[in-house]
């Protein structure tokens, strides 16, 4: 295996050899392990100094290993195959003439028959072991197995099909034999996620799991710079980036180099600038392809300056994001509660943008990933490690995941909740990841979730002078100016409106004024109003938010003198009178 750092043809320093190669090298040479499971970034480009270009993982492995090993490959569909004719010749040279013909026939017959291929591979491996004894010129055998999750799917013996059981038992018997364990031969098993591969393989003492990380900023930068250098050499129009090249290299965190190449090639062909939104769109497409539609990536453009009022809340949020810059003072999660339409998401996104954090929004985990929770969290954790500092938003968190304690919760759903709790409590993510759990029903959150959120912030509708300023500013920002008398009248008629309701009112006024420019807000309020159908529900949600509040000064005036007992009593009374569920 190669050592050290390479340079390209122009003498520029190339990225270090991928770290997973060094990990594999160390485990093979020093710990004498000879079964390796590679997961993570298995479908990407890697710098290959031997060919002076970026190549696939398989080609990188082949070029790294072929000097010291005879490298062959296998997958469930094509069976045994060779990277080139010289490798096939190396395998055939192990056998006599008669045996060579038999091996060729077996190789042809094994296509589409993975058990037959495994039997063939074991026979070849045994032949290499036998031939190498006393013959130091024979290179050890390395077998690269692609899509190993389809070959050895996860599950107990009782859950596997007969053919899956046969393949797994044969493989376990082979790699546990002393002849194989003590031999210089080794296997590289490749699969995007570990959780798809049978745990009986990963539990073997001679098996090492290596997760290939997504490219870091240095590797991303070098890849982009090399692309630009090629454009200069070909005298092409140099690709431009909104916000600059360095900003682009930072923003593509979480993407594979193959995704980056796709964007750069599109810009090269169209001669268009690469925009920030292009990056966001590709990140979203990638995350949704790998994690499903429940994950959405955001880079919010609004900031705390776009929030009207909420001065006390601003100080608290700013303090939280500042302390999360340091792992010593960081907290894993916050609960942001309040009635529907109070602006919880808008405010959290604004402070995330101010702090430089990207936003990853999770929604619908329970429904879509019932039964797929292990794969989902493995991929989620893998992506999170590559992003910079992150705010993970979970809207309506009380419905997003179940309880680890409830008796009527399915075991898979309980594991889902356990995985989230495990991620929240992971010390490696402290300061890097902040979970923002938004909910109108914080009473429905699992106690273990609440215990991991030492700060609980209620967001209420603005009141008094703050409400007056809020409404005036909402209209002012759309060039609708209200006199003091008009504002008083609007406030009187909209006393139950939420911030979201006011946004809807502004939209109605703008739409009406396009046809009737001379008319105003009160003209709209004479024929249109926000429904008051959820007033009682919002009142209940206010009480729940007051119950889950770390800062009493944020409570509405009528609640500040209420004790916890008073709030609980008010909740029970409202539940009884409204049959609230």
Residue labelled with tokens 């909104």: 242
| Cα–Cα distance measured from residue 393 to residue 294, given in angstroms and rounded to the nearest whole number | 11
pLDDT for position 3 = 42
Edge-to-edge strand ranges of the sheet holding 390-394: 295-298, 358-362, 390-394, 433-439, 333-337, 455-458
391 close to 436: Cβ distance less than 8 angstroms? yes
Which SS3 state, helix, strand or coil, does residue 394 take?
Answer: strand
Model pLDDT, residue 92: 85
**CA–CA gap between residue 70 and residue 86 (Å, rounded):** 10
pLDDT for 353-387, tens place per residue? 898 888 888 876 655 544 466 777 888 888 888 78
Nearest Cα to 220, choosing from 56, 55, 6, 45? 45
Q: Which of 347, 345, 364, 330 is nearest to 434 (CA)?
A: 330
Largest CA distance in the chain: 103
Alpha-carbon span 560 to 558, nearest angstrom? 6
pLDDT value at residue 409: 57
Query: Could you give the residue ranges of the DSSP H alpha helices within 177-244?
Result: 178-181, 199-202, 217-233
pLDDT of residue 373: 67
Q: Distance between CA 206 and CA 191 in Å, rounded? A: 18
CB atoms within 10 A of CB 424: 22
Residue located via tokens 């070959």: 151
- 212 backbone dihedrals φ, ψ, rounded to 5°: -85, 115
Look up tokens 């060039």; give the residue. Answer: 479
> 114-147: buried (b, 16+ CB within 10 Å) or exposed (e) per residue?
bebbbebbbebbbbbbeebeeeeebbbbbbbbbb
143/151 Cα distance (integer angstroms): 14
Q: Are 218 and 188 in contact (CB under 8 A)?
A: no
120 phi and psi, to 5 degrees? Answer: -60, -45
Q: What sections of 452-534 are H helices per DSSP?
A: 464-476, 484-493, 499-515, 521-525
Q: Residue 78 is encoded by which pair of tokens?
A: 């094509």
How many whole angstroms separate alpha carbon 483 and alpha carbon 206?
A: 79
User: Tokens 């003209």 — which residue?
Assistant: 523
Radius of gyration of the chain (CA): 30
Cα angle, residue 382 at apex, residues 378 and 388 outer, rounded to 5°: 145
User: Over the stretch 236-255, which tens digit does the pLDDT of each residue have?
Assistant: 999 999 989 998 998 888 88
CA distances from 151 to 80, 114, 162 (A): 13, 7, 13
Q: What is the C-alpha separation between 194 and 199, in angstroms, rounded?
A: 9
CA distance linking residue 345 with residue 375, whole number of Å: 28
Q: Are 393 and 362 in contact (CB under 8 A)?
A: yes
d(CA 468, CA 504): 17
Task: Going residue by residue through the chain, which has 581 residues, state the pLDDT in tens, using 9 for 90 and above.
Answer: 434 344 444 445 455 678 899 999 999 999 889 999 999 999 999 988 888 889 999 999 999 999 999 999 999 988 999 998 898 888 888 887 767 777 777 777 778 899 999 999 999 999 999 888 767 678 999 999 999 999 999 999 999 999 999 999 999 999 999 999 999 999 999 999 998 999 999 999 999 999 999 998 889 999 999 999 999 999 999 999 998 999 899 888 888 999 999 999 999 999 999 998 888 888 888 877 777 777 888 888 899 999 998 989 999 999 999 999 999 999 999 999 999 989 999 999 999 989 888 888 887 665 554 446 677 788 888 888 878 789 999 988 887 776 655 555 566 667 777 888 888 888 989 999 999 999 999 988 888 889 999 999 999 999 999 999 999 999 999 999 999 999 999 999 999 999 999 999 999 999 999 999 999 899 999 999 998 888 888 999 999 999 999 999 999 988 988 999 999 999 888 888 766 55
Rounded-to-integer distance, Cα 571 and Cα 581, Å: 11
Are 459 and 337 in contact by the 8 Å Cβ rule? The answer is yes
C-alpha closest to that of 558 among 548, 546, 571: 546
pLDDT value at position 168? 96
Structural element, H or E, at residue 533:
none
Could you tell me which of 463, 382, 381, 469 has the C-alpha nearest to residue 425?
A: 381
CA dist 90 and 487 (Å) reads 87
**554 close to 457: Cβ distance less than 8 angstroms:** yes
Per-residue DSSP letter, 548: S
For residues 84 and 62, give the distance between their C-alpha atoms in angstroms, rounded to a whole number: 10
């Amino acid at each position: 295996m190669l050592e050290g750092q390479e340079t390209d043809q122009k003498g520029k320093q190339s990225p270090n050899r991928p770290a997973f190669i060094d990990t594999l090298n160390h485990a093979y040479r020093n710990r004498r392990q000879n079964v390796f499971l590679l997961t993570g970034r298995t479908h990407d480009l890697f710098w290959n100094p031997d060919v002076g270009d970026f190549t696939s993982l398989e080609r990188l492995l082949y070029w790294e290993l072929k000097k010291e090993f005879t490298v062959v490959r296998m997958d469930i569909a094509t069976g045994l195959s060779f990277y080139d004719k010289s490798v096939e010749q190396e395998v055939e040279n192990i056998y006599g003439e008669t045996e060579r013909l038999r091996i060729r026939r077996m190789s042809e017959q094994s296509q589409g028959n993975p058990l037959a291929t495994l039997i063939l591979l074991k026979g070849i491996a045994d032949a290499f072991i036998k031939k190498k004894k006393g013959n130091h010129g024979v290179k050890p055998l390395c077998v690269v197995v692609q899509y190993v999750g389809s070959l050895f799917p996860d599950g107990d013996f009782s859950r596997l099909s007969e053919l899956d059981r046969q393949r797994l038992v044969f493989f376990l018997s082979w790699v546990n034999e002393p002849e194989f364990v003590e031999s210089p031969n080794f296997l590289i098993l490749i699969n995007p996620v570990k959780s798809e591969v049978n745990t009986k393989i990963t539990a073997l003492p001679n098996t090492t799991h290596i997760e290939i990380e997504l490219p870091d900023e240095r590797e991303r930068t070098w890849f982009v710079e090399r692309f630009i250098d090629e454009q200069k050499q070909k005298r092409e129009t140099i690709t431009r980036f909104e916000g600059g090249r360095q900003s682009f290299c930072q923003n593509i965190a979480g993407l594979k180099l193959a995704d980056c190449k796709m964007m750069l090639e599109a810009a090269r062909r169209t001669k268009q600038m690469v925009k920030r939104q292009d990056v966001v769109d590709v990140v979203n497409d990638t995350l949704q392809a790998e994690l499903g539609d429940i994950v959405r990536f955001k880079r919010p453009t609004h900031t705390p300056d776009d929030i009207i009022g909420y001065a006390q809340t601003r100080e608290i949020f700013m303090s939280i994001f500042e302390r999360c810059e340091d792992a010593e003072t960081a907290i894993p999660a916050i609960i942001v509660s309040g009635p529907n339409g109070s602006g919880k998401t808008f405010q959290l996104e604004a402070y995330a943008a101010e702090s430089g954090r990207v936003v990853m929004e999770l929604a619908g985990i329970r429904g879509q990933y019932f039964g797929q929770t292990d794969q989902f969290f493995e991929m989620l954790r893998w992506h999170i490690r590559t992003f910079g500092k992150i705010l993970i938003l979970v809207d309506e968190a009380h419905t997003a995941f179940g309880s680890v304690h409830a008796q009527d919760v399915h075991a898979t759903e309980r594991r889902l909740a356990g995985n989230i709790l495990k991620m929240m409590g992971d010390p490696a993510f402290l300061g890097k990841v902040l979970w923002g759990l938004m909910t109108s029903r914080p009473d429905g959150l699992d106690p273990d979730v609440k215990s991991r959120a030492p700060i609980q912030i209620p967001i209420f509708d603005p009141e008094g002078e703050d409400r007056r300023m809020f409404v005036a500013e909402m209209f002012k920002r759309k060039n609708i100016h209200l006199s003091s008398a008009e504002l008083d009248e609007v406030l009187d008629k909209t006393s139950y409106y939420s911030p979201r309701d006011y946004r809807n009112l502004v939209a109605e006024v703008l739409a009406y004024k396009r046809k009737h420019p001379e008319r105003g807000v009160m003209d709209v309020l004479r024929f249109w109003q926000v429904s008051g159908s959820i007033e009682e529900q919002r009142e209940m949600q206010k009480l729940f938010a007051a119950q889950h509040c770390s800062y009493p000064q944020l409570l509405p005036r009528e609640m500040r003198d209420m004790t916890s007992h008073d709030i609980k009593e008010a909740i029970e009374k409202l539940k009884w009178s409204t049959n609230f569920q």
